[in-house]
Amino acid sequence: MSVANKGAALSPSKRSIIPPLENGDHLSASEFMRRFDAMPSLKKAELIQGKVIMSSPVRTDVHARPDSVLQTWLGVYAATFADTVDAVINATVKLGPDDVAQPDGALYLLQGQASLDEKGYLIGSPELVVEIAASSASIDAREKLASYRRAGIKEYLLWRVLDETLEWFVLDDDEYVPLEDSDGVIKSRTFDGLWLDGYAALAGDRAAVLSCLQRGLDESK
């Protein structure tokens, strides 16, 4: 049996207060969004398998610099196909009743699985999401991978920085399997010409990353 304070339950002022998001809260997607929208100063928070995950300070070496490499790569590709493709950075994506993710990057077809809702949030599953993780123990390599698979996201690119590893998964019969590379070059199955030189990316060589992308774009024409 559950007993509550009757006076508190009847207080209009207390009923109108929206509780703040707290790291580790267990919420539905709708309640998560209600609290998230009530905290406009909050920069990043996610709901992964029903649990609130708050952001931590961002280091340049293990996140910001690798993130910049991949965002440049995605941005150039999206600019090339601006009529059919869009790239976003740190966008809130409403995947389902237990998952509201904020991937580091995403690439989606304008007439594909994801669209904007009335508040400007992405709803549905972008065709490709990108995450920068410190190591294989990160939530990006475990719970979020499972959530992205369950949501039907076709491709998931995970950069495990401390492990010096890039993993590009593709959805195959409801399971993620690694995309095979050719001399370090990985090629998307969903986006024509989206090639990534994994060795160049790991080395932080933006020029080589963009040169590889250009080869892919040229071949896709």
pLDDT at 10: 43
How many folded domains does the chain comprise?
A: 2
| 86 and 168 co-located in one domain | yes
| 72 and 50 co-located in one domain | no
User: For the domain that residue 98 is a member of, what is the CATH number?
Assistant: 3.90.1570.10
pLDDT in tens, 141-171: 889 999 999 999 999 999 999 999 999 999 9
Per the domain annotation, does 17 fall within a domain? yes
**Gap between the terminal Cα atoms of the chain:** 67
| 30 and 95 co-located in one domain | no
Specify the pairing of strand 155-160 against strand 128-133.
parallel
| 122 and 200 co-located in one domain | yes
Q: Which residues contact 78 (CB under 8 A, 6 or more apart)?
A: 85, 86, 87, 107
pLDDT in tens, 95-137: 999 999 999 999 999 999 999 999 999 999 999 999 999 877 7
Q: Which amino acid is at 14?
A: K
pLDDT at 94: 97
DSSP 34-84: HHHHT-TT---EEEETTEEEE--PPPIIIIIHHHHHHHHHHHHHHHHTTTT
Predicted TM-score (pTM) of this structure: 0.84
Q: Which DSSP category does 14 fall into? A: H
